[in-house]
Amino acid sequence: MSRQDGTEMKLKSNADRRRVLIGLSAGAAVPVLAACGTSPAQAKDFPFQLSEAEWRRRLTKDEFYILREAGTERSFTSPLNDEKRDGTYHCAGCDNLIYSSETKYESGTGWPAFYRAEPNAVGTSVDYKLGFPRTEVHCADCGGHLGHIFGDGPPPTGKRHCINGIAMDFKPA
């Protein structure tokens, strides 16, 4: 299959082809490979990689669902939502430092919220799981799904990183 820039792409499955077509039909210059409920962890190579079996051994059932299958925990269920101590938040999959308590705030949504990630700690992709585009945020090291970013956060960024608590481990200062 040729991309709009003329280069060739080798697609592994019909699901990959569907994701490319979704991206192209949305007017993307480069096909969107993480759409319609898939996780970026399934669509790209990341510095920290394990096989599915290794991820299943490493993570709890809930962590696997959130991080590797782009799941969402129920709101107001994470103890990290109420965490007020100084410290850092790390990816539960690979221990990558992703957020600082300095950027955490109470959003009232029932999930831990941050207005900024640590430098180079996260990546984003487009998620169409609910039928409309949302900005999915994932760990830059392992690709694990963390949550979503919305434009209704506080200054200075105006962003709300709405993050599944199960996707993180808190380390007190």
Residue 112 lies in a domain: yes
Is the residue at 72 inside a domain?
yes
Whether 126 maps to a domain, the answer reads yes
Q: Residue holding tokens 């669509």? A: 43
Average pLDDT over residues 123-145: 93
SS3 56: helix
88 has a pLDDT exceeding 90:
yes
Residue 1 located in a structural domain: no
Q: What is the CATH number of the domain that holds 71?
A: 2.170.150.20
Residue 85 corresponds to which tokens in the numbers above?
């101590």
- 157 or 127, higher pLDDT: 157
Question: In this prediction, what percent of the chain has a pLDDT beyond 70?
Answer: 75
pLDDT, one tens digit per residue, over 23-41 is 333 333 333 333 334 455 5
94: annotated active-site residue: no
Q: Look at the chain and report how many structural domains it folds into.
A: 1
Checking if the pLDDT of 148 tops 70, the result is yes
Inside any domain, residue 3: no
Q: pLDDT per residue over 100-127, tens digit each? A: 999 999 999 999 999 999 999 999 999 8
| Higher pLDDT among residues 6 and 109, named by residue | 109
Whether the ω angle into residue 155 lies within 30 degrees of 0, i.e. cis, is no
Whether pLDDT at 4 is above 80: no
Q: What is the pTM of this model?
A: 0.75
In this predicted structure, what is the pLDDT of residue 34? 34
Establish if 19 belongs to a structural domain: no
Q: Is residue 149 in a domain? A: yes
CB 24 within 8 A of CB 31: yes
Specify whether the CB–CB gap between 38 and 19 falls below 8 A: yes
- Residue 149 belongs to what domain range? 34-172
Strand partners, 124: 137
**Residue among 91, 94, 142, 162 flagged as catalytic:** 162
Residue 22 domain-assigned (yes or no): no
Residues 6 or more apart in contact with residue 124 via CB below 8 angstroms? 135, 136, 137, 138, 149
Average model confidence (pLDDT) across the chain: 81
Closest CA to 163 of 95, 92, 94: 92
**Lookup: tokens for 113:** 């919220």
pLDDT value of residue 130: 85
